[in-house]
Each structure stands twice: as structure tokens, then as C-alpha cells.
Amino acid sequence: MSHDSPAVPEVTARLVFASGEWTEARARVIERSARWRRSSALMQLGLWLLAPIVFFIPPHLPWVLVVLVVGGMRAMSRFREHRTLVSLHGSCPKCGTDQDFRETGRMKRPHLVHCANCRWELRADVPLSGPAS
Ligand SMILES: [Zn+2]
């Protein structure tokens, strides 16, 4: 996976079930700076450069709209990516299954993950690891 970087230190996190039960987990999170979010969003907007090219593919206009919408959505997603979850490993507070959670990428507030065994929704709480530069 492109996000996987061994340089990101592992921190202690919590997996919280709706009833309040929780277990300790290990997570790797990248705090994104405003500068990274801006430049990354602009790179995603680069997709818009394809608009004049896809215009020549019939039925013309729908492809242009698809390129504009997809580029805009990807840029917005990157601009809102304050934290990137690289990895999350822990045991489910509901059933106890030890696992690697796959819901990585942009961290939402709250960031919800699903247990691969019991399918219950868990909240991943990862403390801030310092200010982003
Ligand atoms: Zn479970």
C-alpha cells in the first residue's frame, strides 16, 4: 500500500465499542500540515487537465463532467485529510479477535472501523501525536 511507511512511529490507541467497552490498540498516524493538504489537493485537481482530452470521446460532455467531479471530490478529500491512518492493530472489545483493521487512509471524526469477525462498528481513538508543521 502506498501509505505504508515504516518511518511513522506506532502510538497507543483505543478501540471503543458503543457500550463503552474498550481495548488498547496500536496505530500509526501521519499528522498532515496545511501545506501538505493544499499541495496534495492541487495535485488532485490536476485531473482536470484531462477534461479537454476526454471531451473527444463520445458522448463528449458526460466524460468531462465525470473528470471534473472526480477531480473535485479527490481534491476536497485531500484538503480535509488532517490525519492519515497508516495502520491500526488491536483486538475487538466485543469479541476479542486480534486483527489488522483495513479502514486506513483519511481519519474521520470519529473514525469508525469494523471488526472482521463480529462485524460490529468500533470507534478508533488515536491521541494527537504533536502539532503538524
Ligand atoms: Zn469483534
Cα 38 to ligand 1 centroid, rounded to whole Å: 37
Same-domain check for residues 72 and 43: yes
Say what the pLDDT of residue 133 is: 47
Same-domain check for residues 60 and 124: no
Q: Which domain holds residue 99?
A: 1-32+83-133
Same-domain check for residues 118 and 106: yes
Same-domain check for residues 19 and 45: no
Same-domain check for residues 70 and 129: no
C-alpha of 119 from chain center: 20
Say what the pLDDT of residue 128 is: 83
Say what the pLDDT of residue 7 is: 84
52-91: burial string, b at 16+ Cβ within 10 Å, e else = eebeeeeeeeebbeebbeebeebbeebbebbbbbbbbebb
Domain count, the chain: 2
- How far is it, in rounded angstroms, from Cα 129 to Cα 119? 29
Cα 64 to ligand 1 centroid, rounded to whole Å: 43
Same-domain check for residues 72 and 105: no
For 37-84, the pLDDT digits (tens) are 999 999 999 999 999 999 999 999 999 999 999 999 999 999 999 999
For 1-30, the pLDDT digits (tens) are 445 556 889 999 999 999 999 999 999 999
